[in-house]
Amino acid sequence: MRRPVELAPYLIVGHPGETAAMVPAMKRKLHTLGLKTCDVQIFTPTPGTLSTAMYHSGLSPSGLSLAVEKDIRALQQRKNLLARE
């Protein structure tokens, strides 16, 4: 017997380029799709990755300026907003 497959999104807040306005928009979109947010993590820079280079430089790969949130309180608020039902 086959069971229905359930999708459980794993989200990261604070990735370089993300703005505070994007988080509530993502929550609304997930709700519209009938998805619940269970697992939310704050972006952690990892050595040797493009995302970390973007985080530290504040620039996209094409050299454009990016929003980069480094305040842990603001990031925790974003995480809490997505994790709440």
The model's pLDDT over 9-21, given as tens digits with 9 standing for 90+, comes to 789 999 999 999 9
How distant, in Å, are the alpha carbons of 27, 45, 80 from that of 40? 12, 16, 8
Looking at residue 7, its pLDDT comes to 74
Looking at residue 45, its pLDDT comes to 95
Q: Token match 């040797």: residue? A: 48
- Please tell me the number of Cα atoms within 13 Å of 83 on its side-chain side: 12
The model's pLDDT over 37-79, given as tens digits with 9 standing for 90+, comes to 778 999 999 999 999 999 999 999 999 999 999 999 999 999 9
